[in-house]
Structure 1
Amino acid sequence: MKLAGTADGPPFDRPGRGWYWKISGPANVLRSRSLGPADFELPDLGNRPAPPPPPRPPPGDDGPPKDRPVPADGVGPDGQMLHYRIATQTVAGVRVTIAASAPRDAVLGPLGEAMRTLAISLAVLGIALITAMLLQVRLGLRPVESLRRAIADVRAGVRERVPEEQPRELRPLADELNALLGENAANLDRARRHVSNLAHGLKTPLATMSVALRKEAPGADDVQSLVLLMDRRIRHHLGRARSAALGGPVRARTELAPRVADLVLVLTRVNAEKPIDVAQSIAPSLAVACEQQDVDEMLGNVLENAFAWCRAKVNVKAAVERRSVVLTIDDDGPGLSAEQMANAVQAGRRLDESAPGFGFGLSITRELAELYAGALTLSRSELGGLRAEIRLPAA
């Protein structure tokens, strides 16, 4: 029995394009018009591994037919790579083999295009997810960064406490930090009060003894040396205690302009009988990394001397030099010689016995400045009197 018929519809009517079909029977072979006089050999399917079994169909579904066409790849008559589908059927009791081919690019092209589109979509989705994750992490950690900056401000002395307005998750941490800061501040205040009480309780009697001994007979030199030794040791240990208290976790910050303005107002009223022209040149934002009461004590000692010895003019100015603030107080008084300047910063050395006091003001100012890694320098003023420069660390 010979096979007869044709199926040369598009695209099997275009020669040399790779779209071919062939039906092989026992007596003859039918070929597509696109093959022309050429022919192609079917790939050997004998050594191919058995395909995996199809998935179990759902109930009520017969599933795919068991005699489905078998896919295969091979070379066409023009050396072109082709993709085949081969099926064996029984027609009118005759066993025939039906094969159809298509260019491999025509099969893999849409698949590659679909995979490319899928890859681009997955890449865009991945980038979007990563961006969303980064934004979520950044936005989620923003309260933590805000809390870190608040703690840094506390350490720098800009604020005393961490803001209590925090997200619910961070509020317990902020409360604990504020409690710790309050406890540290209370301990520091207690330690400073004890040191201050000890200083006032010992320095004044020692100063009185030193002044009294200088007025006694010459035989009191040994006692005078003992008094000076006691004074040095007390100052040494008080300085160590104060330095330990200042070296805590919270750094102080004191603005200079309001402190100078308050002291000048008080001293102007105290010296109301003497007209004094006070010029102040201090930036409002200028601050030092020192405790306020120490700044008040240093400024008070130096300004009090300037108001006491000036004739009619006192200049106060401050400037930043690298990481330090230099506060300069000039007066137009009589001034001091080089030897007097050296003696003025010594504890208990009074240059004018007729004036009230014990001679500890400038020495205390020098010690406090050195406690903060600063210095007190005396020199000749441009106004003709004394210039006192206090160098302190900038906040």
Structure 2
Amino acid sequence: MNTGSLRLRLFIASALSVSIALILAFWGLGQLFASHVERRAIDELSVQLDQILVGIERDAAGQIIMGAVPADARFTTPFGGLYWQIETEGQQLRSRSLWDFALDLPPDHLKDGAVHVHYLPGPGSDLLLVMERSVQLPSRLGGIPMRAAVGMDAANLEESTEQFRDDLLPYTLVLALFFVGAGVAQVFLGLRPLASVGRRIERIRAGDASRVGEDFPSEIRPLASEVDALLAQRESDIEQARHRAGDLAHGLKTPLQALLGEAGRIREAGLADSAEAIESTADTMRRHVDRELNRARIASRAAASKTDLAEAVSRVAMVVQKANPTNTLSWKLDVPQGLAVAADMETLLEILGAITENAARHATQTVQIYAREKSQHAILSVLDDGPGIEPAKIEALMRRGGREDESGTGLGLAIARELTETLGGAVQLIPRNRGLMVQITLPLATN
């Protein structure tokens, strides 16, 4: 999977989205729980404050006292975590839990019964959640205004929130794994139609299908339709090119024939050298036209063709042997079954026929044909034990236009070379101590 992979990009986007969503959810749930804990604490403080207000009395000297102390033991334990404080005109009462510390209530001006909630410093520099209420005492208690406050350690609230986050973290990680796995599955399932399109195109290249088809999800169907339209346009263009090539060939026949007729009249006029030059030029033109038309025909079929090399070699060897029944040559064939090349059977037989006939004509005892696969190509070697060819003549035969020598060997080899190059392959002549090896390289067919 490379950095340009669509699958990788979707994986990264899915993982990032899941991570961000879960981080926000984890933080948000923690904040909601903290708010919930704070509300519960405020409700508890409200109850405690009501109990404190109910317990207020006056002694015989007219001083405000706490007649009924709240039952919670934290009020009576120094720094116990729960505190109360009462302020009236010139008098302040505190819980034993505050010890010698007094709450520094802000200078609020509250209406009768109004409640304020603060975070204030407490004993030992601890932060307290404090609820205060301003009340007007009844006439039996002097009818004076009073501020009553009750508080608890805010650290307890934060500790509860942290415990909740600690409990929530494993579940968040499990959800992260689940969502990432679901994202991976979604990516694989979502991209399967694209992989199916790729396989259809491979089948088209291999010649097993002509169109991609439209049996895809609605999001992929336009792509498949465009590919099919492109294939149809290409087929149309190729067909038109073939017609134009045929028209060109037919169009050249008449001028070439006229040129040859003119050469005949020139010859009759006694200008044999000029006539021969014209005839040679016309013949060269005709060969070029035939060769290019043949190349166009072969190239148009090669990409979509698949031919078993072992079958083609077997057929050629059988034909060559039957054509020379008196020949006592030993044939050794070693071509793996299932080795298919990108060529139509007709063209492949023409290539192998020219080279094999040449080997049989010059061999004295043995013709060997074997093949192997290398780097998406099939390499076929045809060996004979004949007199071989001089290196200088091999170079001449391998040059473009080298078609014939005294023995007629070059014509077949040149035709085979041109056809092989049209298929995207190559032909190499390799001299040996005895005989010649012709090595043919052809691209493998797409599976």
- Give the alignment's TM-score, normalised by structure 2: 0.64
Within the candidate set 390, 415, 436, 1:364 is matched to 415
1:79 correspondence with 2:125:
yes
What secondary structure, in the 3-state scheme, does the structure 2 residue paired with 1:303 have? helix
Aligned to 1:294: 347
Aligned to 1:351: 406
CA contact (8 A) 1:311 1:332 kept: yes
For 1:233, give the aligned amino acid: M
CA contact (8 A) 1:83 1:104 kept: yes
What secondary structure, in the 3-state scheme, does the structure 2 residue paired with 1:78 have? helix
Q: How does 1:240-251 map to 2 (within 5 A)?
A: 240=292, 246=299, 250=303
Aligned to 1:58: none
Aligned to 1:260: 313
What secondary structure, in the 3-state scheme, does the structure 2 residue paired with 1:351 have? coil
Within the candidate set 293, 299, 307, 2:360 is matched to 307
1:92 correspondence with 2:138:
yes
CA contact (8 A) 1:271 1:307 kept: no
Aligned to 1:24: 87
Q: What is the distance in 1 between the residues matched to 2:224 and 2:190?
A: 17
CA contact (8 A) 2:301 2:344 kept: no
What secondary structure, in the 3-state scheme, does the structure 1 residue paired with 2:336 have? coil
1:230 correspondence with 2:282:
yes
Aligned to 2:187: 137
Aligned to 2:371: 318
Greater mean alpha carbon deviation, residues 363-372 or residues 116-125:
116-125
Aligned to 1:10: 73
Seq. identity, %: 25
Aligned to 1:59: none
| Distance of aligned partners of 1:265 and 1:188 in 2 relative to their CA distance in 1, 3 Å threshold | farther
Aligned to 1:61: none
Q: What is the distance in 2 between the residues matched to 1:379 and 1:33?
A: 111
What secondary structure, in the 3-state scheme, does the structure 2 residue paired with 1:11 have? helix
| Distance of aligned partners of 1:328 and 1:188 in 2 relative to their CA distance in 1, 3 Å threshold | farther
Q: What is the distance in 2 between the residues matched to 1:256 and 1:193?
A: 31
Aligned to 1:46: 108
Aligned to 1:390: 440
For 1:367, give the aligned amino acid: E
Within the candidate set 142, 153, 159, 1:109 is matched to 159
Q: Which has the higher helix share?
A: 2
Q: CA deviation at 1:28?
A: 4.2
CA contact (8 A) 2:381 2:440 kept: yes
CA-atom RMSD, angstroms? 4.5
What secondary structure, in the 3-state scheme, does the structure 2 residue paired with 1:278 have? strand
| Distance of aligned partners of 1:265 and 1:45 in 2 relative to their CA distance in 1, 3 Å threshold | farther
Q: What is the distance in 1 between the residues matched to 2:123 and 2:390?
A: 118
CA contact (8 A) 1:3 1:29 kept: no
Q: What is the distance in 2 between the residues matched to 1:47 and 1:240?
A: 105
CA contact (8 A) 2:295 2:419 kept: no
Q: What is the distance in 2 between the residues matched to 1:171 and 1:111?
A: 53
Q: What is the distance in 1 between the residues matched to 2:318 and 2:242?
A: 27
CA contact (8 A) 2:302 2:343 kept: no
CA contact (8 A) 2:303 2:342 kept: no
Q: What is the distance in 1 between the residues matched to 2:66 and 2:397?
A: 131
Q: How does 1:181-192 map to 2 (within 5 A)?
A: 181=231, 184=234, 188=238
| Distance of aligned partners of 1:114 and 1:102 in 2 relative to their CA distance in 1, 3 Å threshold | same
Q: CA deviation at 1:390?
A: 2.5
CA contact (8 A) 1:86 1:98 kept: yes
Within the candidate set 427, 432, 438, 1:376 is matched to 427
CA contact (8 A) 1:83 1:102 kept: yes
Q: What is the distance in 1 between the residues matched to 2:226 and 2:323?
A: 46
Q: CA deviation at 1:244?
A: 5.9
Aligned to 2:5: none
| Distance of aligned partners of 1:291 and 1:193 in 2 relative to their CA distance in 1, 3 Å threshold | farther
Within the candidate set 249, 269, 273, 2:322 is matched to 269
Gaps of at least 5 residues in structure 2 are 1-61
| Distance of aligned partners of 1:186 and 1:300 in 2 relative to their CA distance in 1, 3 Å threshold | farther
CA contact (8 A) 1:331 1:385 kept: yes
Greater mean alpha carbon deviation, residues 298-307 or residues 157-166:
157-166
CA contact (8 A) 1:253 1:288 kept: yes
Q: What is the distance in 2 between the residues matched to 1:117 and 1:174?
A: 51
Q: What is the distance in 2 between the residues matched to 1:339 and 1:362?
A: 15
| Distance of aligned partners of 1:278 and 1:191 in 2 relative to their CA distance in 1, 3 Å threshold | farther
Q: What is the distance in 2 between the residues matched to 1:285 and 1:35?
A: 95
What secondary structure, in the 3-state scheme, does the structure 1 residue paired with 2:371 have? strand
Q: What is the distance in 2 between the residues matched to 1:221 and 1:342?
A: 30
Aligned to 1:146: 196
CA contact (8 A) 1:274 1:312 kept: no
For 1:31, give the aligned amino acid: R
Q: CA deviation at 1:115?
A: 5.2
What secondary structure, in the 3-state scheme, does the structure 1 residue paired with 2:413 have? helix
CA shift digits 1:213-232 (9 cap, x unpaired): 9xx99975544443443343
Q: What is the distance in 1 between the residues matched to 2:421 and 2:335?
A: 22
Q: CA deviation at 1:116?
A: 5.8
- Give the alignment's TM-score, normalised by structure 1: 0.71
Q: CA deviation at 1:249?
A: 11
Q: CA deviation at 1:193?
A: 9.2
Q: How does 1:199-214 map to 2 (within 5 A)?
A: none
Q: What is the distance in 1 between the residues matched to 2:286 and 2:103?
A: 113
| Distance of aligned partners of 1:302 and 1:226 in 2 relative to their CA distance in 1, 3 Å threshold | farther
Q: What is the distance in 1 between the residues matched to 2:188 and 2:149?
A: 61
Q: What is the distance in 2 between the residues matched to 1:223 and 1:390?
A: 40
CA contact (8 A) 2:84 2:151 kept: yes
Greater mean alpha carbon deviation, residues 170-179 or residues 321-330:
170-179
